[in-house]
Amino acid sequence: MSLKILVVEKDRDSLQKIVHMAKEYKNTVLVISCRSFVKALKLLENEVFDIVFIDTDLMCTHVYWGIKIIYKKFNDIKIILVSSTVEYLDIAFDTLTAGYILKPVCGRNILKSIERVEKSKNVIGFKGVIVKQEDKEIFLSYNEIIFIEAANRKSMVHTLKHEYPVCKNIKDFLKEIPSDIFVQSHRSYIINITKIKFIEKFNNTSYNVVFSKEKIALMSRRHIKDFKSMLSAYS
């Protein structure tokens, strides 16, 4: 595949090194650089990039929100953080960035980060959700997912045995997942109707949607009608 890369770096030496290595990568067709976060946002508006290397120093104490701004506007891009400290590793994990490079930057690490992104983008025909756990990318087919739960600024994707944090909200998921098997059952839940064991009343306004003894989602009264219509169409 052809890769377009944006390098956003405050330090001149690091900027030159990343740009040089990005241009050396076999499938790179475009490398553009700048030294300002605001300038980077303008460049992203005018060109579709696959990867952005971004210096945490340019986002000051707002690294989390800087990443969120980029993902919200350009959700197909992969972010690789470049930093002189490990301080933002937790944020990198929480926001599912594609990589984290410590300064002084190493050419080998730059190339490895680009290669990992390229491999993740080369998954053809996969129907499901890609999640990150530590340094691994996990591919969850739609058939494995039993429900998706809103959790603060992100969502938790549940399978029967595990749960995975994903930096997307419920509305984003509803636009992407197949509507013939997934339905919103509550403002905080999307459920896979093919995996339900049974539904029981929880209180006057909601129901428990049971997938297993440990895995239970909620369904609100106002979503019952849509659920029944979908279920009858499915059966």
pLDDT (tens digit per residue) in 12-50: 999 999 999 999 998 898 999 999 999 999 999 888 888
Q: Phi and psi of 37, rounded to 5°? A: -65, -40
The model scores a pTM over 0.85: no
Instruction: Classify strands 154-158 and 147-151 as parallel, antiparallel or unpaired.
Output: antiparallel
pLDDT of res. 221: 86
Per-residue pLDDT, 123: 54
The whole-number pLDDT of residue 188 equals 94
CATH of the domain at 201: 2.40.50.1020
Per-residue pLDDT, 234: 47
> What's the pLDDT score for residue 135?
65
Identify the helix (H) or strand (E) that includes residue 69.
Answer: helix 63-73
Q: In the chain, how many domains are there?
A: 2
Q: Residues of the chain whose pLDDT is less than 70?
A: 1, 75, 121-126, 134-136, 229-235
Tell me, what CATH number does 33's domain have?
3.40.50.2300
Residue-level pLDDT at 148: 96
Q: Model confidence over 124-151: pLDDT tens digits?
A: 456 788 887 766 677 888 888 999 999 8
What pLDDT score was predicted for residue 126? 63
How far, rounded to the nearest angstrom, does the alpha carbon of residue 126 sit from its chain's CA centroid?
16
Tokens (6 digits) for 133: 């756990």
The pLDDT value recorded for residue 122 is 61
- Token pair of 157, please? 């994707």
Indicate whether 14 and 117 sit together in one domain.
yes
CA distance 121 to 98: 11
112 shares its domain with 142: no
The pLDDT assigned to 235 comes to: 45
User: What is the 3-state secondary structure of 102-119?
Assistant: ECCCCHHHHHHHHHHHHH
Contact 177, 142 (CB under 8 A): yes
- Asked whether the beta carbons of 20 and 58 are under 8 A apart, the reply is no
- Given 87, 121, 155, the domain boundary residue is 121
Based on the fold, state whether residues 136 and 88 are members of the same structural domain: no
Q: Note down the domain range covering 192.
A: 129-234
Residue 18 shares a structural domain with residue 94: yes
The pLDDT, as a whole number, for residue 124 is: 47
Contact 6, 53 (CB under 8 A): yes
Instruction: Mark whether 117 and 7 lie in a shared domain.
Output: yes
